[in-house]
Amino acid sequence: MQEKFVLLGNQQGVPLLLYHANAYMPELYIPFLRHLSDYKVIALRQRPLWDKSVQKIKDWDIFTQDLIKFCDENNIAQIDAIGHSLGAVAIWKALSLRPELFNKVVLIDPVILPEETVRWVSLLPYKLKERIRPVIKIASLRRNQWASREEARIHLGSKGVFKKMDPEVFDLFIKFGIVPGENGFTLAFPREWEAMIYASPENTWKFMAKTTKQIMIIKAQHSNVISNETWEKVKSKNANNLYAEMKDVGHLIPFEKPMEIGTMIASFLDRKG
């Protein structure tokens, strides 16, 4: 079974927790973490990377509980943490439940859907969710078999999401995101899990105002998980937080502009107080 975490960055540095995005893996953050050179990064692997049995979930609490359990089992507390997308939401919720686990927290483009959207999506049967939210069906039908990594590289390299990636990050996806399977090579992060996650969004509005520690929240200008209207509402919830928007980038900020966002976050983490 795949290990539940991987150590990245400066092994003699200050401990830092990293929780990644849905459908990706910690190693893709290596170019980004290069700009956080003072940190030894404990990068958790989300459950789909080590538990292939897809569970029916109603929200993303399972990822929050995996995070809390990992911290408790490894005596982790008062640690700086960075979360991206799903990982950001899981950290945010964990912070509201167990604030003593964290010190400074950075959330990169957390998934924040309108509250009414989360409510009605949670009530629908899965098949209807697929019809109403196309991203679910796209994920569930995603190609997941190739004869070789090179075949996967050619196929995926033509896709818009991968074209926008820093070339080194794309190379890392081919190395770590495409793994040997029963019939050649397959996705390390099962497409069935990816679709289930899209079908079960977390209601972040329930806990976003409950955190007392200062958080840095970074939105991508072209985010597809935080609308401009939602962003303004989020900023009104907690005046203590720091809010930043990165220009000319999409949801996968650490993969598209690893140097720019790494430098920005390093500045926040290095600040005293």
pLDDT for 273 equals 56
> Which residues 6+ apart lie within 8 Å of 123 measured at CB?
none
> Which residues 6+ apart lie within 8 Å of 75 measured at CB?
none
The 10 Å CB-count burial string (b at 16+, else e) for 17-48 is bbbbbbbbbbbbbbbbbebbeebebbbbbbbb
Domain 5-270: which CATH class? Answer: alpha beta
- Name 186's bridge partners: 179
pLDDT for 120 equals 87
Sketch the domain layout of the chain as residue ranges.
5-270
pLDDT for 1 equals 60
Cα three-residue angle 36-179-52, rounded to 5 degrees: 95
Question: Residue 226: helix, strand or coil by DSSP?
Answer: coil
- How many other C-beta atoms can be found within 10 angstroms of the C-beta atom of residue 8? 21
pLDDT digits (tens, 9 = 90+) for 247-272: 999 999 999 999 999 999 999 999 76
pLDDT for 210 equals 87
Low-confidence ranges of the chain (pLDDT < 50): none
Q: What element of type H or E holds 81?
A: strand 79-84
